[in-house]
Amino acid sequence: MQTELSNALGVEYAVFGFTPFPAVAAAITRAGGFGVLGAVRYTAPGDLVRDLDWMQEHTEGLPYGLDVVMPAKKVEGVTEADVEAMIPEEHRRYVQAILDKYDVPPLPPGEASGWRITGWMEEVARTQLDVAFDYPIKLLANALGSPPADVIERAHAHGVKVAALAGSPRHARHHKAAGIDIVVAQGYEAGGHTGEIATMVLTPEVVAAVDPLPVLAAGGIGTGEQIAAGLALGAQGVWLGSIWLTTEEADLHSRRLTAKLLAAGPGDTVRSRALTGKPARQLRTAWTDAWDDPSGPGTLPMPLQGLLVAEANSRIQRYETEPLLGTPVGQIVGRMTSERSVQAVFDDLTRGFERAIDRINRIAGRA
C-alpha cells in the first residue's frame, strides 16, 4: 500500500493515525504507518518536551508528526478572563442543573479542571511549535483552518510538510492557496469537528479541487476495505482518528468510557456543539441531549462553550458519571468492538485492504 506521498514520507503504509496519546502515535509509526500526535492538550511546554522525548525513544527513527489547533481567525488581546466574563448566567445555571440532576460531585480541593480553551489560542500553539521544531517531526497538521503564512514558512524551512483538515472543497482550495502541502478531506462521519459532507462525496471533490496536491481521506475509515475505498477515490492515503481510542495503548482514564465505546453502534454518535461551540461528532449522551434540547438555552459560540463546560467535563470524567460520559468519536465506533493493540488493528487493516483488492481484481476479471 504505497503512494507517492507515503514514499516521500518514508512510510510502509499510506495510513496516517491521529491520536492524543504518544503511546498510540509511536505504535502507529512502529507498525509502518504515520503517527500524528495531537498537541491541543499540551498547554505546558514542558509536558510536550517530555512526550516528544518519549516519542523519539520509541519510534526507532521512523517518521511521525504533530497536530496543533491554530484557529484561522486570531483574536488579539483577549484573555481567558475576558471570555469567561461573556458567559451568560443562564448558561452557568443550566450546567449546574445538569450536574445536580446526575449527582456529579465537585472536584476535590486543589484539583484543577483539566481542559481549558488555552490550547486553541495561537500563542499556545506557537509555544508548541517552538518545542516541536526541535524534534525531527516530518509533518505539521492543523485542525481549524490554514496555519498562518509564517508558520508554513517555518515548517518548510525545517523540511516539515504541512497538512490541514478540510470539510469542504472551498476549505481545501483555501488551503492550497495558503501553501499547504497535504489536504486531509475529513467527512461528516468523522469524530471531532466535522463539516456536512460525507467522506464518499468529499474525497473526490477535494482531490479535484486541489490537484496536484496529495489528499488524505478521513472520516468513517476503520477497515482495510474502507482504506481501499479512500484510495480508489483518488486519495494518496487515509487518516484515521477514532479507531485508536479503544486500543490497548490508548489512555482514556476511564474503563466505563472504553466499555461505552465498545458497546456503541454506528448510530450512537451525534454532531453536537455541546463540547466546543462548533459542531463536533461525539458519543450521544445525556449531556449532548441536554444541549440539543429545545427547552434549554442552547450552546454558546466557540470559545465560550468550551470554557463554560470545561469544569463540568472534568467532573463527569473524574467520577465517570455514566449517562453523561462521552468523547469525540466517529460513526466507525460501531466497528470498535474489542480492545486490541495498535499492531493488531494495523494487521487487520492491511488484511482487509488485501481482501478488498483481491475482490476488486476478481470483479474486474484480473484475477
Please report whether residue 237 would count as binding ligand FMN according to CB under 6 A.
no
Binding residues for ligand FMN, total number by CB under 6 A: 27
Write out the three cell numbers for 308.
Answer: 463554560
Within residues 101-160, the interface with ligand FMN by CB under 6 A covers: 141, 143
Of 270, 329, 336, 342, the one binding ligand FMN by CB under 6 A: 329
User: In this complex, which beta carbon is closest to ligand FMN, that of residue 22 or of residue 91?
Assistant: 22
Within residues 332-351, the interface with ligand FMN by CB under 6 A covers: 332
Please give the single-letter amino acid code of residue 177: A
In DSSP notation, 181-212 reads: SEEEEE-TTSSEE--SS-HHHHHHHHHHHHTT
Please report whether residue 69 would count as binding ligand FMN according to CB under 6 A.
yes
**Which of these, 85, 120, 89, lies nearest to 280 by C-alpha position?**
120
Which residues are 142's β-sheet partners?
Answer: 68, 164
d(CA 315, CA 328): 17
User: In this complex, which beta carbon is closest to ligand FMN, that of residue 165 or of residue 308?
Assistant: 165
User: In this complex, which beta carbon is closest to ligand FMN, that of residue 95 or of residue 183?
Assistant: 183
**Which of these, 264, 229, 225, lies nearest to 246 by C-alpha position?**
264
Whether 288 contacts 260, CB under 8 Å: no
Please report whether residue 261 would count as binding ligand FMN according to CB under 6 A.
no
Please give the single-letter amino acid code of residue 33: G
Within residues 172-231, the interface with ligand FMN by CB under 6 A covers: 186, 189-192, 218-221
Provide the minimum distance between the beta carbon of 337 and ligand FMN in the complex, in angstroms, as a whole number.
15
Please report whether residue 272 would count as binding ligand FMN according to CB under 6 A.
no
Q: What is the contact mask toward ligand FMN in residues 7 to 46, using x (rule: CB under 6 A)?
A: -----------x-------------------x-x------
For residue 280, give the 3-state DSSP assignment: strand
Q: Which residue of the chain is nearest ligand FMN when measured via CB?
A: 241
Consecutive H or E run containing 16: strand 15-19
For residue 164, give the 3-state DSSP assignment: strand
Rule CB under 6 A: which residues touch ligand FMN?
18, 38, 40, 67, 69, 141, 143, 165, 186, 189-192, 218-221, 239-243, 327-330, 332
